[in-house]
Chains A and B, each alone.
Chain A
Amino acid sequence: MTHHPSAAEAPRTGPVIERPPLAPLIDVRDLAKHFTMRRRPPVRAVDGVTFRVAPGELVGYLGPNGAGKSTTLKMLTGLLVPTSGHITVAGRIPWRERRAHVATIGAVFGQRTSLWWDLPVIESFDLLRYIYRIPAERYRANLDTFRDLLDLDAFLQTPVRSLSLGQRMRADFAAAMLHDPTVLFLDEPTIGLDVVAKERVRRFVRHLNAERGTTVLLTTHDLADVERLCHRVLIIDGGRLLYDGNLAELQRRFGGRRELVIDLAEDVTDIGGDGSANRLDDPRFAVPGADVIARDGPRITYAFDRDATTAADLIARVTQRLRVVDLALKEPDIETTVRRIYEERLLDGA
């Protein structure tokens, strides 16, 4: 299993710095949750998952709908009792020591608010101050920080039921962090938010992780969240953990081919002798190490493997042969990569 002791490291840019291994904050071994239903075979929502998360990591937990993400998260937060396996967070078994456990964690569920529906935001916070027994000066300091970072002032006095989704999420984030939890569990924290609101939430999560050292486990369907925030991802499907590693590695192994799109000086549409138009194997455009995958008037698209040839080489070869007026390089995006992983079951048996 490869994982990085600190989220502060950037696996893409530098060598991995060796550090003494920290005791894992989250330790999950052979975790399983089977739901039994009358007259039906049991649903293996989580089926033998093992992973560890070190203090200060920011980990993305990905998988298609029904993969077992939320079930895992519910076991980690103490809301579900595992069918079998081992689970500790900060040395505690979540479901067995629920109250002690939940006092040290934060959780934000994008689908529902944890605030009191008919109370003004500030009064919800005030109630949380008592529930978590937050010392007064700590509460003040945190509230001031979050008001600033999440821009809460405009709606602190507004009842939660009257907030917009973006405002509600910001309030929920502040509420989850008022008691300085060591771990933050996020379930779809950006779902339904607009681009600006999403970015604000991501900035806040990054701040928590970098400045406060909060360990974050995040499930999401928005891969931009993962790309902006996480160095390490876990991929789960069918209740099984399929991948545990860094994002760059995932992209390298399963990312589709890169594409080079060129625009030629003239329209090269032609009809072949057999009546076919724009043949992809037209020898005029053949370049070693790349395949023509599309032609449209003066525009030709090549696909190539990052292992087989570099973009610079390919561009050199193409421009040597053809009169190119414009070109663009397209990286396969993580979205496509993960979709391929789900759809083509690339990780099965991994």
Chain B
Amino acid sequence: MLLYAIARQSFRRHLTYRAAAAAGLLTNFFFGIVRVAVLTALYDGRPEAAGITLPAAITFTALSQAVIGPLAAFSWFDVMRSVHSGEIAGDLLRPMGYLTYWLAHDFGRALTQFLLRGVPMLIGYVLLFPWIAPAGTHFVWPQGGAMWAATGVCAVLAWLISFGWRFLSNLSAFWSPDARGIIRFVFSLSWFASGFLFPLRYFPDWLQRLCALTPFAYTVNAITEVYLGLQQGGDVVRLLAIQAAWAAALLAAGALVLRAGVRRLVILGG
């Protein structure tokens, strides 16, 4: 009930920043078009690369641009700011878990971003597809109800994982006044290893395996794999299970590190 209330408030709060969402949407949209142009050039008339057809690759671009908002893929310093400014004191003065509070808050944020940026992004690409894709090809959708459902579950788990590592990296603020640098570094790793820039399938084997060791691979890349149907049947279930394990592990780690951080918390001021 409390989580619902926090998420609902967060949702409404983020809804008030519609202009910012629109600006973000527009930027992501045009940058996505540039990415499509680059991909098309790289395909150079080939029907597919690493099992991904060009229309699927263009759909991937739409997807990865659509999750920038919901997964806060570019930056997220909220918890760091709360620690550095001492606002965390106000939150600790309330009978609620700090992690669960931020989890609910981020869920509301992600949902707003999904509706204000994610959905319009996909619609934009569908409408523009005839102009940016080879003639006679179509925007790719998940095949059948089961894959739609799997994509939905996969996306929620991806959000949980994304929250997990964002929260964890933000907690470095307890130990470092320069946490921003650390968080930026983690984010830049994620762009690469999450399959946000390119589907991980494009990478050489050894690099794919390296990326698969990180939680990042189970965010954007997992969504791409399930949505485009690159994994089927049991493999999808296995993928979702690994996602769930990563989400649980990251949240548990977040709770542990948070406890250590709160213990050493010193809020400045006489």
Contact = CB atoms under 8 A, between A and B. Distances in A.
Contact of B265 (A79, A100, A107): A79
B108 to A, nearest CB: 11
Contacts of A77: 93
Given A68-B270, A80-B267, A130-B5, A112 B95 contact: no
Closest 10 CB pairs of A and B: A103-B95, A130-B5, A66-B270, A114-B90, A130-B2, A99-B95, A102-B93, A131-B94, A131-B96, A102-B95
Nearest to B89: A79
Of the four ranges (under 10, 10 to 19, 20 to 34, 35 or more), the interface on chain B belongs to 20 to 34
Interface in A46-83: 65-71, 74, 77-81
Interface of A: 35, 45, 65-71, 74, 77-81, 98-100, 102-103, 105, 107, 109, 111-114, 116, 118-119, 123, 126-128, 130-133
B92 A131 contact: no
Contacts of A111: 269
Interface string B1-14: 11001100100110
Interface string B67-87: 000000000000000000011
A45 B270 contact: yes
A186 to B, nearest CB: 13
A172 B6 CA distance: 19
Contact of A114 (B9, B93, B97): B93
A78 B86 contact: no
Contacts of B87: 112
A119 B9 contact: yes
A109 B91 CA distance: 13
Contact of B5 (A109, A114, A126): A126
B266 A131 contact: no
Given A70-B270, A99-B95, A102-B94, A112 B86 contact: yes
B46 interface: no
Contacts of A103: 95
Nearest to B4: A130
